[in-house]
Chain A
């Protein structure tokens, strides 16, 4: 899978209060949250962002609260993926769990500038500027995380798992009857 989009650049320690301020947390509606995405970091972000655009940030992106509203708001605003030097851990797992691709690459985060066109190979974790040859490799996901991503998020993974569980149980019952 390949992503192509325009870069929106942010600095270090962008926290979840900036990504989606608590004054909007009285709802969990993605469309509603998307209207206020990144509001306290850049009030004009929502007007500028276009479908498939990419957020590029510095260290510790998404620090602070555990609110899943943060990656939800980013995803619902049309952002296709986030590239950062590093991610805060709860934001990172939340993004994986809801199927928002996130890439850790200090090099790419440094080199990519505002309004650059960027191409990302999601499966390979390869990042490059449009029409440029240099490829930046993002940190590789461990196999376990890849499985969640392949399912499209943790709940999809759970649904696969749930179906398997039920199938096993049923199989067990059939066996007993045969006895």
Chain B
């Protein structure tokens, strides 16, 4: 298991990501941050805190569970549903926030879900880690850390709110994973 980011690393990455989002959006107006369940949600809240510190504007934050939009519902294992609560998205710029970008299938599902909730003027994607191996033509607008990985390796993101600490690790396939599991990332 190799540590890619420790707590300070995660903090610095999120601070830079917040600045990048503000710069590309030209401020915090009309932004909506939507975290993808499970670990994207605390990350979205932290980005909103940093943005508020920088701009003095409170940005609405939502949570999105993509399970019901997956293309492999019938293939096991059984998945529980997370809470979905998204602020109004019409004519706003929705920033999707996720921990790991892998195959792109979760983001595809998230795009479908957001587009059914309203008509945003734009949708952007922020991820803490991009580990490659895309199966769909999807890319992130802002990336905390690009991590070249082998397909069989496991990337584990831990967030203090859920796991007691902030960390990003990459491990070999036979190592037990401490945080987000592979199934969620696909």
A binds B: no
